[in-house]
Amino acid sequence: MTFGWCFICAFVVLINKVSLQDTVEGFIGGSVVLPCSSDEHDHKLQDIHVLWRNKDSEIFYNLISGKDSVAGQNPRYKNRAQTFPEEYERGNFSIKLQNLTRTDEGEFSCFITHTHELSTIQLILKESTEENGNKTTEENEGSRTQSDLINISICVFTVLALTVASITA
């Protein structure tokens, strides 16, 4: 009986964690990091081809042979996207999008051609306020971590309560 509850609690925590990786929240005027990474590591720069597209399948950003390419990029992203070249060989192809506007909201996809990996990221935007207007994804990570800790604490408490209940029964 207790094992079943442990499994359910672990499943709930893992589902919550997975859904956080697919959705990114940002604020109008702020910036976010759209995550994209490969399961493989130790990439050779000349083999790296990553295609970023927006919800309308327009070119958001490309990495061709390990180099940034904005050829054909939708003009609304010009000078607003920043990559992390020092991370490419480790399989991190995330992009920071700055000066967020309402039209940025929606789905982005990252296709890593050499490994055939596709990631889809849903960008949700909120109106900025004085308190949170310029927060970046990194600053919002603390609240995600706190949420994960709360979920884990609830699961641990539930498992302990069920264990005590089954022992005393």
Ramachandran area for residue 13 (φ above 0: left; ψ -120 to 50: alpha; else beta) = alpha
**Strand pairing of 32-34 and 23-27?**
unpaired
Q: What is the pLDDT at residue 59?
A: 96
CA distance 4 to 23: 29
Residue 40: its pLDDT value, please?
84
pLDDT at 163: 54
Residue 118: per-residue pLDDT: 94
What per-residue confidence (pLDDT) applies to 159?
43
Report the CATH number that the domain containing residue 116 is assigned in CATH: 2.60.40.10
Identity of the residue numbered 91: G
Q: What is the pLDDT of residue 44?
A: 85
pTM tops 0.85: no
Supply the pLDDT for residue 45: 85
Element (H, E) at 114: none
What pLDDT is attached to residue 111? Answer: 96
What does the pLDDT look like over 103-134, one tens digit per residue? 999 999 999 998 899 999 999 999 876 554 44
Residue 32: burial class (beta carbons within 10 Å; 0-12, 13-18, 19+): buried
* pLDDT value at residue 127: 87
Distance CA 36, CA 116 (A): 13
Given a cut of 50, the residues of the chain with pLDDT beneath it are 3-21, 132-162
Apex 102 CA angle, 100 and 108, nearest 5: 70
User: What pLDDT, on a 0 to 100 scale, did the predictor assign at position 92?
Assistant: 94
Number of structural domains in the chain:
1
* Residue 52, domain extent: 2-168
